[in-house]
């Protein structure tokens, strides 16, 4: 495969854009380096790059593109909104419509507010929880990513009962002291943190099904205990459903696990590929938000007609019968094929999958928390990633990310992908 134009463009990008990319995960740092491929066109399950190479795409833009690229219904909605004016700064009927669609799909979101990204949505839920409880601390779970606002870029301390440390330069230690990070799926550590800091905890923030150290489901009963213990301590529970909402079912992960949080943050899929975030929750909590209440949150672009139109169109596509059954069926085929090839070549591979999202870990062990995901073989993944890319399969460049199927993928795409997996596993076995 020839990547000459991508290589030239990356050099040029490095001259003008910091690190040559507009989000660090797009650089290939997590897979031992290399030139990020410059894509030129996306259609359905495919990408074409600037050198004319074709790829089957499983990145799906880190989750939002569940309908496949350039879905005609979404493209038409965006075009129509462009000709109607993309930004008004006034209320629109589209916002009412979309808010109702979200509320119907996720009933715990009794009131909704639109923002522009998942980062903003999560950041604001924390502010609102603090306003509601008049407390400051937050408990979160190791390896869950909640965007890049200061409060959630905090690493775990040395144990469940210790406060966090900044996970990025530029974040004050005073801020990190407001955050306690405990392992996912381990209720004892969580209890210990609540025992020590419970009276000061405004919110417990969690991805109900993890997407950020691979796809990791909660152990039976874990999320119910998270809820019960938080509520006993007077804290609110926030579900970060930026990845999970509309990914596994038409609705939310809270629906799948049968536990309702007090507030929910959304993003990604609900924008159909355009920038969006949303948050919502119980009415009495949401009434803390301006203009009704004292917690301020605003946005020039919030609820813009283009993003809202794309979001409505995306959910309309997902409402079609058989959507999630198809994602599940193709996901299962992909998982089984990967595991069969791994067995043939005696490679230590584990696949965590839920419906049309899966993560391939190079390990002999189960992955149920971040430490276990971190312990999987990153070098082997890096080699696999580059081999797959040469075979025309575009994966996320990190061992912690998921492969996302879209409704545009076909059985033939899975067959082609599995041939590439076999070819890529072969040299790894030697
Ligand atoms: N929350 C989760 C679970 C995410 O995966 C992400 C992004 O990957 C975010 C929040 C932040 O969303 P955004 O990148 O739209 O700011």
Among 145, 190, 239, 324, the one annotated catalytic: 145
User: What topology is assigned to 72-318 in CATH?
Assistant: 3.40.640
- Successive 10-residue mean pLDDT values, the chain, 430 residues: 97 98 94 97 98 98 98 98 96 98 98 98 98 98 95 83 88 93 96 97 98 97 98 98 98 98 98 98 98 98 98 98 98 98 98 98 97 97 98 97 98 98 95
Residues in the chain: 430
Q: Check if 328 is active-site.
A: no
* pLDDT value of position 161: 79
User: Could you give the CA distance from residue 206 to residue 244 in angstroms, rounded to a whole number?
Assistant: 11
Contacts by 72-77 with C-beta closer than 8 Å and gap 24+? Answer: 73/313, 73/316, 73/317, 74/272, 74/273, 74/310, 74/313, 74/314, 74/317, 76/313, 77/272, 77/309, 77/310, 77/312, 77/313
Q: Check pocket membership of 132 for ligand 1, CB cut-off 6 A.
A: no
* pLDDT value of position 409: 98
Q: What is the whole-number distance in angstroms between the Cα of residue 126 and the centre of ligand 1?
A: 15
Task: Show me where the domains of the chain are located.
Answer: 4-70+321-429, 72-318
Ligand 1 atom nearest to CA at 147 = 11
Answer yes or no: are the C-beta atoms of 229 and 253 closer than 8 Å: no
* pLDDT value of position 196: 96
Q: What is the whole-number distance in angstroms between the Cα of residue 273 and the centre of ligand 1?
A: 13
Among 46, 137, 190, 240, the one annotated catalytic: 240
Which one of 267, 273, 275, 402 would you pick to mutate in the ligand 1 pocket, going by the greatest count of ligand atoms within 8 A of its CB? 267
Q: What is the whole-number distance in angstroms between the Cα of residue 347 and the centre of ligand 1?
A: 32
Q: Check pocket membership of 118 for ligand 1, CB cut-off 6 A.
A: yes
Residue 301: how many CB atoms within 10 A of its CB? Answer: 16
User: Could you give the CA distance from residue 341 to residue 27 in angstroms, rounded to a whole number?
Assistant: 29
Q: What is the whole-number distance in angstroms between the Cα of residue 255 and the centre of ligand 1?
A: 20
Q: Check if 345 is active-site.
A: no
Answer yes or no: are the C-beta atoms of 297 and 263 closer than 8 Å: no
User: What topology is assigned to 4-70+321-429 in CATH?
Assistant: 3.90.1150
User: Could you give the CA distance from residue 99 to residue 299 in angstroms, rounded to a whole number?
Assistant: 17
Could you check whether 4-70+321-429 and 72-318 share the same CATH topology? no
Strand (E) or helix (H) holding 76: helix 72-84
Ligand 1 atom nearest to CA at 118 = 12
Q: Check if 28 is active-site.
A: no
Ligand 1 atom nearest to CA at 212 = 5
Helices 411-429 and 323-344 sit at what angle, rounded to 10 degrees?
20
User: Could you give the CA distance from residue 141 to residue 204 in angstroms, rounded to a whole number?
Assistant: 9
User: Could you give the CA distance from residue 165 to residue 116 in angstroms, rounded to a whole number?
Assistant: 28
């Amino acid at each position: 495969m020839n990547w000459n134009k991508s290589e030239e463009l990356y050099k040029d990008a490095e001259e003008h854009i910091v690190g040559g990319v507009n989000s660090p995960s797009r650089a290939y740092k997590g897979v031992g380096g290399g030139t990020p491929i410059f894509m030129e066109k996306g259609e359905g399950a495919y990408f074409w790059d600037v050198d004319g190479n074709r790829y089957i795409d499983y990145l799906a833009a880190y989750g939002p593109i569940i309908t496949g690229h350039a879905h005609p219904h979404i493209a038409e909605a965006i075009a129509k909104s462009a000709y109607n004016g993309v930004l008004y700064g006034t209320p629109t009927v589209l916002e009412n419509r979309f808010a109702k669609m979200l509320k119907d799909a996720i009933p715990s979101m009794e009131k909704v507010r639109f923002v522009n990204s998942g980062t903003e949505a999560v950041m604001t839920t924390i502010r609102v929880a603090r306003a509601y409880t008049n407390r400051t601390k937050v408990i979160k779970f190791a390896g869950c990513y909640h965007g890049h606002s200061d409060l959630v870029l905090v690493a775990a301390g040395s144990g469940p009962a210790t406060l966090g440390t900044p996970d990025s330069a530029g974040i004050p230690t005073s801020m990190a002291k407001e955050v306690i990070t405990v392992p996912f799926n381990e209720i004892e550590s969580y209890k210990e943190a609540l025992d020590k800091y419970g009276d000061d905890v405004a919110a417990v923030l969690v991805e109900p099904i993890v997407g950020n150290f691979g796809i990791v489901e909660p152990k039976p009963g874990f999320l119910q205990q998270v809820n019960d213990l938080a509520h006993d301590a007077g804290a609110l529970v926030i579900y970060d459903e930026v990845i999970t909402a509309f990914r596994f079912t038409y609705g939310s992960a809270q629906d799948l696990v049968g536990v309702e949080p007090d507030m929910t943050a959304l993003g990604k899929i609900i924008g159909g590929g355009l920038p969006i975030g949303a948050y919502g929750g119980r009415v009495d909590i949401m009434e803390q938000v301006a203009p009704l209440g004292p917690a301020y949150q605003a946005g020039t672009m919030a609820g813009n007609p283009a993003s809202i139109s794309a979001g409505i169109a995306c959910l309309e596509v997902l409402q079609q019968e058989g959507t999630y059954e198809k994602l599940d069926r193709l996901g299962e085929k992909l998982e089984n094929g990967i595991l069969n090839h791994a067995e043939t070549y005696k490679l230590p591979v584990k696949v965590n999958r839920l419906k049309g999202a899966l993560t391939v870990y190079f390990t002999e062990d189960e992955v149920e928390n971040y430490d276990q995901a971190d312990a999987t073989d990153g070098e082997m993944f890096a080699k696999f990633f580059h081999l797959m890319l040469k075979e025309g399969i575009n994966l996320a460049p990190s061992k912690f990310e998921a492969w996302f199927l879209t409704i545009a993928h076909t059985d033939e795409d899975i067959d082609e992908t599995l041939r590439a997996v076999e070819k890529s596993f072969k040299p790894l076995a030697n």
